[in-house]
């Protein structure tokens, strides 16, 4: 069984970025980092001209389908019938994108099939992590 889920999504850029109103972004989930999801944007869609990856909580993405969620650099909220707004803030500027909520729900379903909500802690190898920290001390 695979430990990684990757799902392309079509993101519609609505604020503060160059030239591309629609962006082919990718959502990632890795069972080895069970609390997090990543969203990657291709180089042509970024101010820096390099791929940009944002990492944030899977729970934030799920909660943002239903209500305004997030503080700081990543915020998520519902918008209309089948859209979800993701807002990414960095010193260089702010990007606001719309993604079909159905695509996010499909992605979250796949992540929960891999690691059910509330069972993330079972994926963590605390002994290995502690050994890595102690080795460097």
| CA dist list (Å): 80 to 29, 77, 98 | 26, 10, 10
Tokens 């042509």 -> residue: 44
Q: Which helix (H) or strand (E) holds 101?
A: helix 101-114
Rounded to two decimals, the pTM is 0.78
Q: For the chain, how many residues are written? A: 137
pLDDT digits (tens, 9 = 90+) for 41-72: 887 766 677 888 899 999 999 999 999 999 88
Cα within 13 Å of Cα(136), Cβ side: 5
pLDDT digits (tens, 9 = 90+) for 2-22: 688 888 888 887 754 455 578
């Amino acid at each position: 069984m695979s430990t990684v889920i990757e799902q392309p999504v079509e993101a519609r850029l609505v604020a503060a970025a160059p030239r591309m109103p629609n962006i082919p972004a990718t959502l990632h989930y890795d069972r080895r980092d069970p609390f997090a999801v990543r969203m990657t944007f291709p180089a042509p869609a970024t101010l820096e001209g390099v791929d940009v990856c944002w990492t944030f909580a899977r729970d934030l993405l799920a909660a943002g389908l239903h209500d305004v969620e997030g503080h700081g650099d990543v915020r998520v909220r519902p918008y209309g019938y089948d859209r979800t707004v993701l807002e990414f803030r960095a010193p260089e500027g702010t990007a606001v994108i719309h993604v079909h909520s159905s695509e996010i729900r499909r992605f979250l379903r796949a992540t929960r099939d891999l690691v059910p909500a509330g069972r993330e802690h079972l994926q963590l190898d605390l002994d290995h992590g502690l050994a890595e920290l102690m080795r460097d001390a």
